[in-house]
Structure 1
Amino acid sequence: MTRTGERADRTWTPLFAAWTVALASTLGALFIGEVMGQTPCGLCWHQRAFMFPLVAVLGVAALRSDGGGWIYALPVAGAGWLVAAFHNLLYFKVIPTAIRPCGQGTSCSGEGMMLLNTVPIPLLSLAAFTLVIALLLVVRRRTKP
């Protein structure tokens, strides 16, 4: 097997795993919004704007076994992580602000917006972005000669 083929084999699994996380997050957000009828808050919308494109970018990269796909996906995931981190800081009242992230529509801090009545949706988003970034860093490390 060629060196390029070996690299492609080593990067496919973390790329596929990152795509799976992005896909599950996207489907979860769509389920909450479209099936449950919960209107996301402004910060949730921004996080969606960064997560949804990752499904396409990571899907194409995994399909092609293109380890270089991390270059395109990492900045998008990083920006989404920053929004998710800010949302969590507001949610857990670490930083006070006059901005209410969940002021309009359904509050993502309500009891109905928790996984198994314990994990809040903003924390799930932060975990998903963190996992995608970690997997992309594995891809980056494996693509180096």
Structure 2
Amino acid sequence: DRVGFAATIVAWAARRRNEITLAVSGVATLGSLYFSEIADYIPCRLCWFQRILMYPIAVISVVALVRRDRQARWYVLPFTFIGAGVSLYHFLIEQGVVADSDSCTMFGPACAEVWFTQFGFVTLAFMALCGFVAMAVVNLLPTPEDPS
């Protein structure tokens, strides 16, 4: 039964939301540090904003796991929504859909500059967008005890 299987997966993800959030934010945090500190990619202004929104999620997730805090999602969600918006905007700039602003080049490389691409469209901004959206979805799932 596909519906039963999907419900089982959703319930599992809802029970493990802190672990999933830590895994996603941890990979994003370590990945961004790898690209800037080891691969010598210079983050643009929008990359910095995405980092500013991603790094606290990793810290909140660790604290939530240690304290077994089932309400941490309410602290994580604002970061995921804003981060997804910034990442989407950055990705649209990279794809040429939105024009790059002068404020981007004022503090580093142009936000339209693509340092990494895979499959022709997967950029660092796209990966950040996927991470923020995945964490938002997981943290919006109703807990198995919720009547909804």
TM over 0.5, yes or no?
Answer: yes
Query: SS state of the match for residue 87, structure 1?
Result: helix
Cα distance change, pair 102–137 in 1 and its aligned pair in 2 (3 A): farther
Whether 1:129 aligns to 2:126 is no
1:78 maps onto 2:63 in alignment: no
Shift of 1:96: 2.8
Residue 3 of structure 2 is matched in structure 1 by none
Q: What's the CA shift for 1:91?
A: 1.4
Distance in structure 2 (CA, Å) of the matches to 1:97 and 1:10:
37
1:90 deviates by: 1.2
Distance 2:128 2:89 in 1: 11
Q: Does 1:17 align with 2:26?
A: no
Count residues in correspondence: 134
Partner SS, residue 37 of structure 1:
coil
Q: Which residue of 1 aligns with 2:146?
A: 144
Q: 1: CA distance between counterparts of 2:46 and 2:132?
A: 14
Q: Deviations over 1:27-59 (max 9, x none)?
A: 000000111111100000000000001001012
Where 1:113 maps in the other structure, the secondary structure is coil
Aligned-pair identity (%): 24
Residues 46-100 of structure 1: CA deviation (Å, up to 9, x unaligned):
0000000100101211233321001111111111111111111211122235447
**TM-score relative to the length of structure 1:** 0.79
2:109 maps to which of 101, 105, 130: 105
How far apart, CA to CA, are the structure 1 residues paired with 2:136 and 2:21? 8
3-state SS of 2:54 partner: helix
Task: Find the counterpart in structure 2 of residue 114 from structure 1.
Answer: 117
Structure 2 segments unaligned to the other structure (5+ residues): 1-11
Higher helix share: 1
Instruction: Report what 1:6 is aligned to.
Output: none
The one-letter code sitting in structure 1 at the alignment partner of 2:41 is: Q
Moved >2 Å (runs of 4+)? 9-12, 62-65, 95-110, 114-118
Taking structure 1 as reference, are residues 82 and 75 closer, same or farther at Cα in structure 2, changes over 3 Å only?
same
Whole-angstrom CA distance in 2 between matches of 1:63 and 1:50: 21
- Match of 1:119, SS state, is coil
8 A Cα contact 2:92 2:98, kept in partner: yes
